[in-house]
Amino acid sequence: MHSIYLMILAMALVTYLIRALPILLLRRQIRSPFIRSFLYYVPYVTLSVMIFPDVLTSTGLLWSALAGFGTMLALSFMKKNMFLVALASCLVVFLTETFMA
C-alpha cells in the first residue's frame, strides 16, 4: 500500500519539476530564433505523436483508417474548416468500412 503513495509522490514531483524548472532557470526572455521556434512547435509535435498511433488502430480496418487519415491530410493542406475535415474523414472511414466489409 505504501508503494502506491510513493508512486503518486514521484509522479507529482516529476510533473512539478517539468513545469517549475523552466520558470526557475530562465529568468530572461529567450532571444534565440532557433530555440523560440523549437519551443513554439513542441505542443503540436507532442499532440501529433500521441494521436497518430491511435488513428491507425481506431477503426476496424487499416485501409479505412488510412483513407480517413489521407482525407484529413488533403483537406487540412487545403486549409479547410476543422469541422469539415473531421466530418469528411469520418464519412470516408464509414464508407470505406461499409464497402470493404
pLDDT of residue 29: 85
Please report the pLDDT score of residue 35 as a whole number.
Answer: 87
Looking at residue 79, its pLDDT comes to 95
How far apart (Å, rounded) are the C-alpha atoms in residues 62 and 51? 16
pLDDT at residue 90, rounded to an integer: 95
Cβ partners under 8 Å of residue 88, min gap 6: 71, 72, 75
Cell of 6: 510513493
80 dihedral zone (left: phi>0; alpha: psi -120 to 50; beta):
beta
Q: What integer pLDDT is reported at residue 1 of this predicted model?
A: 59
Question: Which parts of the chain sit beneath pLDDT 70?
Answer: 1
Domain ranges of the chain: 2-100
pLDDT at 10: 93
Provide φ and ψ at 26, rounded to 5°. -105, 95
Predicted pLDDT of residue 91: 97
